[in-house]
Amino acid sequence: MQYELIRKVLERRDWGGAARVAGWVRTRRDSKGGFSFLELNDGSCLANLQVVAETALANYQTEVLKLFPGSSVAVEGVLAPSPGAGQLLELRATSVTVFGFCEPTAYPLQKGRVSFEVLREIGHLRPRTNTFGAMSRIRNTLAMATHSFFQEHDFLYVHTPIITGNDCEGAGAMFQVTTLDVGNPPRRPDGAVDYAADFFGRRVNLTVSGQLNGETHACALGRIYTFGPTFRAENSNTRRHLAEFWMIEPEIAFADLADDAALAEAFLRHLFQQLLARCRSDLEFFQKQLDPALIGRLETLAVAPFLRMSYTEAVAALRSSGQTFEFPVQWGCDLQAEHEKYLTEVLAKGPVIVTDYPREIKAFYMRQNADGRTVAAMDVLLPEVGEIIGGSQREDRLDVLEARMRGCGLNPELYSWYLDLRRFGSVPHAGFGLGFERLVQFCTGLANIRDVIPFPRTPGNAAF
């Protein structure tokens, strides 16, 4: 690499040593004392490098004075301690080479604050801001920490399909994938679209969950996880939903719900620890800008156990809370956002793992408990963000699962491969799905999920 990262340069103290960097100008301040200051950022860290460019440079008048925010340059120079406040060192330029100028009247990222709403309209430029730089580094660290956690615990990374024929997974509306001419598709004699003529010879969609596929590998290889894109065609317009998001789905064999909850907690704890160790200055930035309690909360969660309660206990706690809710709490009803908010933000003041939900409000594949009315399900709830993990022990008894599917109006014949896992050497197993963007939200304090993914996909919006 021809250029040294600014993050590395900022750690140096060898005054007089040479350095060569490249990056984008954040601001320029001119001094008639015979030089200009350039704040240079290359994305390697939050901090900028202060470059001192003297009028003696051959291109000072012709080029340096035309470096507005957004311009790209390479700078060669000599490291020196900085006499000014605000930075320890500076690079005294011996040459400034311009890659590209940046027209200030046209470039939307000038020095002042730009709102998140405006930044969403310039998704191709917002990675150049402090906020998106910090978010991107945190997102990267959380992704790598995900792999390190599972790899260190002997999980296999399994790639489940993006295109799926599982047309009744029940996790939400799906995007259809087809090569047929949608304006004039082939039709069967009865007028219905003839999907036998489609690319896969059947109707297929983008996946809403890798879980069913993941179970096949857990029930062969023991411990697996997936980490990939997931798609929901719901018309959701909230700060917590995306049509395309990334989900982490571990699946473990020979495990029950308690093992599943313990895994979720250990995983989250590892993520928080890694983040605190590796992204300190980015976290400090978000703490200063968005949430004064951010780092303290992560530090607590990196060591403290999460509060656990059964759904039945949660309902009892809500009913005796003295709070008036818009939706009255009753055993059997799903917990509303206001209820989850009370549990996490008032009762626990932190994450809560709620287990053993009523069978009727949960998915068909969740294992039925001995009480006959609940299933071995769990949700991990976070303050502000809401549900970040949904998981369960899977129903491993063939007859019980088939009966449950019929009860849900599903045709077991369409799931024969899934039922084979129970037919041939069935084992107790469990798993969960973690919404990666909601995790990034929680770890940055960014209120809107559209600001924690590079290119958000939401109803009516797929620009860039």
- Which of positions 202-231 make contact with RNA (CB under 7 A)? 209
Distance, in Å, from the CA atom of 166 to the CA atom of 416, rounded to the nearest integer, reads: 11
Tell whether residue 176 is a contact of RNA (CB under 7 A): no
x/- track of binding to RNA for residues 88-107 (CB under 7 A):
--x-x-----------xx--
> Out of 1, 16, 85, 425, which residue is the one contacting RNA (CB under 7 A)?
85
Q: Candidates 144-152, 192-200, 221-229, 242-250 — which segment interacts with RNA by CB under 7 A?
A: 242-250
Q: Candidates 13-21, 28-36, 192-200, 216-224 — which segment interacts with RNA by CB under 7 A?
A: 28-36
Amino acid identity at 328: P
Tell whether residue 232 is a contact of RNA (CB under 7 A): yes
Tell whether residue 409 is a contact of RNA (CB under 7 A): no
CB 66 within 8 A of CB 59: no
Tell whether residue 50 is a contact of RNA (CB under 7 A): yes
Distance, in Å, from the CA atom of 133 to the CA atom of 119, rounded to the nearest integer, reads: 13
Q: In sequence order, which residues have a C-beta less than 8 Å from that of residue 308 and are 6 or more positions away?
A: 261, 352, 353, 354, 355
Closest approach, Cβ 99 to RNA, in A, equals: 19
> Out of 2, 115, 179, 184, which residue is the one contacting RNA (CB under 7 A)?
115
Residues in 116-175 that interact with RNA by CB under 7 A: 117-118, 120, 171-172
> Out of 11, 17, 99, 111, which residue is the one contacting RNA (CB under 7 A)?
111
Residues in 301-330 that interact with RNA by CB under 7 A: 327
Q: In sequence order, which residues have a C-beta less than 8 Å from that of residue 131 and are 6 or more positions away?
A: 116, 119, 285, 289, 446, 451
| Residue labelled with tokens 């006499």 | 83
CB 255 within 8 A of CB 392: no
Q: Candidates 108-116, 188-196, 265-273, 344-352 — which segment interacts with RNA by CB under 7 A?
A: 108-116
> Out of 241, 270, 404, 422, which residue is the one contacting RNA (CB under 7 A)?
241
The dihedral built from the CA positions of residue 380, 381, 382 and 386, taken in this order, carries a sign that is positive
Tell whether residue 37 is a contact of RNA (CB under 7 A): yes
Amino acid identity at 211: Q
Distance, in Å, from the CA atom of 68 to the CA atom of 108, rounded to the nearest integer, reads: 12
> Out of 247, 271, 343, 443, which residue is the one contacting RNA (CB under 7 A)?
247
Size of the site for RNA (CB under 7 A): 71
CB 205 within 8 A of CB 199: no
Alpha helices in 332-393 (DSSP H): 337-341
Distance, in Å, from the CA atom of 357 to the CA atom of 359, rounded to the nearest integer, reads: 6
Closest approach, Cβ 172 to RNA, in A, equals: 5
